[in-house]
A = this chain, B = another copy of it.
Amino acid sequence: MKPSIPRGTRDFGPAEMHKRQYIFDIVKRNFQLFGFSPIETPAMENLDTLTGKYGDEGDKLIFKILDSGEYIEEIRDKNLNLLKKALARSFYKRSNNNSNSPFKFRNSFSTVESRFSSKELTRNISEKALRYDLTVPFARYVVMNQHSLTFPFKRYQIQPVWRADRPQKGRYREFYQCDADIIGSNSLINELELIALMDKTFSDLKIPVLIKLNNRKLLTGIAQYINATDKAMDIAIAIDKMDKIGQIGVENELFSKGFSHEQINKLLEVILIKSDGVRQINNPAKKIENEEVLNFLKTVSDYRSNHILQKGIEELEFLFKNIKTQGLKHVKIELDISLARGLNYYTGTIFEAKANEGTFTPSILGGGRYDDLTGIFGLKNMSGVGISFGIDRIYDVMTELRLFPEKINSISSTQVLFATFGQKEQLHCLKLAKRFREKGINVEIYSNESKIGKQFEYANKKQIPFVCTVGSDEMSLKKYPLKNLETSTQSENPLTISQIIREIKKYHSAK
Query: Given A65-B64, A66-B64, A189-B430, do A80 and B113 touch, yes or no (CB 8 Å)?
Result: yes
Rounded to whole Å, the gap between the CB of A32 and the closest CB of chain B is: 5
Query: Given A42-B174, A79-B79, A187-B449, do A63 and B68 touch, yes or no (CB 8 Å)?
Result: yes
- B322 near A6 with CB under 8 A, answer no
Q: Kindly state the separation between the CA atoms of A60 and B69 in the bound complex, as whole angstroms.
A: 7
A402 CB–B CB distance under 8 Å = no
Q: Kindly state the separation between the CA atoms of A32 and B42 in the bound complex, as whole angstroms.
A: 27
| Number of residues from A at the complex interface, CB < 8 A | 128
- B443 near A35 with CB under 8 A, answer yes
Q: Kindly state the separation between the CA atoms of A119 and B52 in the bound complex, as whole angstroms.
A: 32
A277 CB–B CB distance under 8 Å = no
Rounded to whole Å, the gap between the CB of A297 and the closest CB of chain B is: 24
- B68 near A66 with CB under 8 A, answer no
Q: Kindly state the separation between the CA atoms of A119 and B71 in the bound complex, as whole angstroms.
A: 11
Query: Given A12-B39, A64-B66, A109-B84, do A3 and B140 touch, yes or no (CB 8 Å)?
Result: yes
- B413 near A37 with CB under 8 A, answer yes
Copies in the complex: 2
- A37 near B189 with CB under 8 A, answer no
A193 CB–B CB distance under 8 Å = yes
Q: A3-B140, A75-B122 are in contact. List 19 more A-B contacts (CB 8 A).
A: A3-B49, A5-B49, A6-B42, A11-B39, A35-B414, A35-B442, A37-B411, A42-B174, A64-B65, A66-B66, A68-B164, A71-B164, A72-B121, A75-B118, A84-B106, A88-B105, A185-B447, A189-B426, A192-B430
Cβ of A1: which chain B residues have Cβ within 8 Å of it? Answer: 48, 376-378
A475 CB–B CB distance under 8 Å = no
Interface residues in A23-76 (C-beta closer than 8 Å to B) = 32-35, 37-46, 48-49, 60-61, 63-66, 68-73, 75-76
